[in-house]
Amino acid sequence: MLVWPIAANSRPMPRSASGLFSAGHCADGNSDILFRQRGTSATLLWEMDGATSTSIPLPGVPTDWRVVGVGDFNNDDTSDILWRHDNGTVAIWLMNNGHLQTAGFFGVGNDWHVIGVGDLNGDGRDDIFGTTTTAPRPSPK
């Protein structure tokens, strides 16, 4: 659930916003808001400081890519962005204080789907949780 603060100096949430994520994209300890404008390649990060924000436009990404998660994949205390293309390709944008530093791509196929992000093994780096629609199911005993 996203709670939007109302203040005299806050700007309205764009009606065309989709794919909202809240995470600490910048290493200032505040949660920031990442969203895409529905139907366009526009991706925007709002670096939050209480009820005020600074807009950081991110590089445009075609609409067949979707943000499927955010997490700190390289343990630098800054949230990174996890993308998935309609063809199954996954990309991770390693961010630094709201700015793209590097991107990595890997293919997993259309039968795999991201279901979450979190530190599975306790190494301080977030991992990707996935599931597949084609894996054999265990049979009941």
Q: Burial, 123: exposed, middle or buried (Cβ in 10 Å; 0-12, 13-18, 19+)?
A: exposed
Q: CB 40: neighbour CB atoms within 10 A?
A: 13
Q: What is the pLDDT of residues 65-114, one digit of tens each?
A: 888 888 899 998 888 999 999 888 999 999 987 888 999 998 887 888 88
- Residues in contact with 137: Cβ distance below 8 Å, sequence separation at least 6, in sequence order: none
Give the rounded percent of residues in the chain with a pLDDT score beyond 90.
Answer: 19
- Both structure tokens of 94: 């390693």
Q: CB 128: neighbour CB atoms within 10 A?
A: 19
Bridge partners for 89 per DSSP: 107
* pTM of the predicted model over 0.85: no
- Both structure tokens of 28: 């200032």
